[in-house]
A = this chain, B = another copy of it.
Amino acid sequence: MPKGQPSVVPDDGLTTRQRRNRPLLAVHTGTGKGKSTAAFGLALRAWNQGWPIGVFQFVKSAKWRVGEERALRVLGASGEGGTVAWHKMGEGWSWVQRGIESSEEAAREGWEQVKRDLAAETYRLYVLDEFAYPMHWGWVDTDEVVEVLRTRPGVQHVVITGRNAPEALLGAADLVTEMTKVKHPMDAGQKGQRGIEW
């Protein structure tokens, strides 16, 4: 709500405008749907502002996100909004092919790339899709993630999605939304379908 009034005005020496434009760390977690779709919806707003967007896809299946990826690539190439760089663990990082050991390695390599890009201020919005998992599994050190994000330079917004986001990450986040499943077609025997699930 653009016109909303905050419930607290902190004594942080910032003007409303300065406070408003602070870079955000958002986390979408919980067992329900919509965590990633909402992150990609957010990317549409960033694109509209002309911001460079970096997507880091920490997921296994090649089928997932095909719609989002194609749409964001078309938008990024349209010349009408921001640019889009799409980093897919499943490809360059061989997530699927080599099994657990190297999935762990791939996730760490992905995180190293994110760190380099944050240091270089490559993007203005980072979508770290399903990045909660490698933290939850201990593949990537949550304390390091929190520290790197806390000290990131400039104005770089970061959205992290995935179930089981670690408490330390939630503590560091500015915005946390939990998606809860109330009802799912699978409960009634209906499997996921094209155009809806991917």
| Number of residues from A at the complex interface, CB < 8 A | 82
Interchain CB contact under 8 A, A6 and B183: no
Interchain CB contact under 8 A, A49 and B34: no
The answer, among B40, B42, B45, B188, for a CB contact under 8 Å with A10, is B188
Interchain CB contact under 8 A, B7 and A186: yes
What B residues does A78 contact at CB under 8 A? Answer: 74, 78
- A63 CB-CB contact with B under 8 Å: yes
Per assembly, the copies of the chain total 2
- A19 CB-CB contact with B under 8 Å: yes
A189 and B41 in contact, given A179-B34, A179-B177, A182-B170 (Cβ under 8 angstroms): no
**A186 to nearest B CB, angstroms?**
5
Residue of B at shortest CB range from A80? Answer: B74
A191 and B16 in contact, given A182-B178, A196-B24 (Cβ under 8 angstroms): yes
Residue of B at shortest CB range from A48? Answer: B67
- Bound Cα distance A182, B186 (Å): 26
**A172 to nearest B CB, angstroms?**
10
The answer, among B28, B34, B125, for a CB contact under 8 Å with A195, is B125
